[in-house]
Amino acid sequence: MREHWQFFKEQDRSFGVFYPLHYVVAAFDTPERAEEVRTIFVDSGFDDGDVASATGSFVTQKLESMDGATWIERFKIGFASFLGTELGYIDDDHKLAQRGAGFLFIYTPDDASIAKAEHLLVRAHPICARRYDHAGIRRLIYPAQAAL
């Protein structure tokens, strides 16, 4: 069942699909590693309320779930599917969650926080990382599709 996580400061859906505006989402091998990296972000100056870790099952079964969508939301989801990108990332997240991945969410509302997050992520070696913005989803760190 889809759920709104109070952690998100802004919208977390667009066209009925999970879309945490102004957040970086990064995947790590385990939830424990995601939590370790969350601590690194806080120790590096990010506000504790701007960084959170989550298990793969929480992300896929609660946040990204489309269960319980109204017919209007299902129409929007179908439109988003036609456009492409968001649902492909959700599919990737499901694959990672099945392998036991953990996820890190970082609120990055401005260029300075984006740059700082990218710098820290490069050093943390996530499986993948992307940022949600008004203009679309930007890949920060992403392997070839075959690697997921």
Helices (H), the chain: 31-43, 56-58, 71-83, 85-98, 111-124
Digit-coded pLDDT (tens) for 36-91: 999 999 999 999 999 999 998 777 776 555 555 554 444 444 444 444 455 567 77
Q: Is 141 left (phi over 0), alpha (psi -120 to 50) or beta?
A: beta
Would 52 be classed as within a structural domain?
Answer: yes
Q: Which domain holds residue 102?
A: 13-147
Would 45 be classed as within a structural domain?
Answer: yes
Would 102 be classed as within a structural domain?
Answer: yes
Q: Domain count of the chain? A: 1
Digit-coded pLDDT (tens) for 111-127: 999 999 999 999 999 99
Would 7 be classed as within a structural domain?
Answer: no
Q: Global pTM?
A: 0.78
Would 6 be classed as within a structural domain?
Answer: no
